[in-house]
Each structure stands twice: as C-alpha cells, then as structure tokens.
C-alpha cells in the first residue's frame, strides 16, 4: 500500500531525528510543510547548544518563519516525531500553524493530548488540528533505543 503525504513528511521528520541521535541528542525531528514544500526543519539541539529551548519544533518554526518572512505560518503543517511539550505547543499556537501531525505520544510532557491539550484549548485565539500516531512505531522505536543506551551508560557509571 502506498504511503500518503502525512507519512512522507513524517519520514522527513524522522531523518531529522536521526541527525539528533547521531549528535547524542534526544532524537526528535520536525519539519514545517507549506504548499507541499518543506520550509523549515529542525532536530533537538538542547545539549549541543546548551539551550533548553532548542527543541526540534522551535528550530523548525523559526526556520519556516525566516523562509516566509513572517511569524504567521497560517496554511502550514508541522510534522514532529514526538508529541510537543508545553513550550512547543505555545509556539505552534503563536505561529498560527494549522495542522500538527505527530508520531508518538509523550505521556510525561505531552501538551497536545497526553497531559494537556493546549493547541485545541478554545480559550485561546487559535486552535490547531491534530493528527496523532503517524508512523508511530518508527517514531517510538528511535526514542526507545536512545533511552535504553542512556540507561545502560548510567548503569556502567555506577
């Protein structure tokens, strides 16, 4: 069975997650798609930049805003391998992204359905359509492998 566009773009986000993995970062990747074209991409760089805000989504949204020459990303979709946290959900709302497509949920920090659902809170001035669980197994697996290695390193240090 042929993949649809959502799977295609999520695979591009997974490529970004692989880049993060190679750098020793939590492997999360994101791409912003506008008019069937990637206009922003990013992967986690928290450790390498020593910046707690250097999440894949924030980097991708910033690149997309630069590309369009506007902070308003209406008409865009954000594909991210892991459900966004509260900070990233806020950026999604503020940038006016229309659709959020994510791979796997984040039960510890997810703010787009797991712990909170900020992007669809009707009290805010913008709501976002959510499509979860696209390529869920692949998106979940890369995180599992990363955290297993982290746990193993921590055990070896003891």
Please identify every residue annotated as catalytic. Answer: 57
The secondary structure element, H or E, covering residue 24 is none
Sign, Cα dihedral of 47, 51, 53, 56? negative
Report how far residue 82's alpha carbon sits from residue 132's, in angstroms, rounded to the nearest whole number.
9
Helices 86-94 + 56-68 axis angle, to 10: 10
Report how far residue 146's alpha carbon sits from residue 25's, in angstroms, rounded to the nearest whole number.
9
> Helices in 4-135 by DSSP H: which ranges?
5-22, 46-49, 56-68, 86-94
Name the strands in the sheet holding 76-82, side by side, starting at the edge strand that comes first in the sequence: 37-43, 29-34, 76-82, 99-104, 129-131
């Amino acid at each position: 069975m042929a993949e649809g566009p959502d799977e295609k773009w999520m695979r591009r986000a997974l490529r970004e997650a692989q880049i993060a993995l190679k750098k020793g970062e939590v492997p999360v990747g994101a791409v912003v798609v506008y008019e069937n074209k990637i206009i922003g991409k990013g992967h986690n760089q928290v450790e390498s930049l020593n910046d707690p805000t250097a999440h894949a989504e924030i980097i991708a949204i910033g690149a997309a805003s630069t590309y369009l020459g506007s902070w308003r990303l209406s008409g865009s979709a954000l594909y991210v391998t892991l459900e966004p946290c509260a900070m990233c959900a806020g950026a999604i709302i503020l940038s006016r992204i229309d659709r959020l497509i994510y791979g796997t949920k984040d039960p510890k920090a997810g703010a787009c359905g797991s712990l909170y659902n900020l992007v669809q809170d009707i009290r805010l001035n913008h709501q976002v359509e959510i499509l979860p669980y696209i390529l869920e197994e692949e998106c979940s697996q890369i995180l599992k492998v990363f955290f297993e290695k982290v746990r193993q390193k921590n055990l070896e240090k003891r």
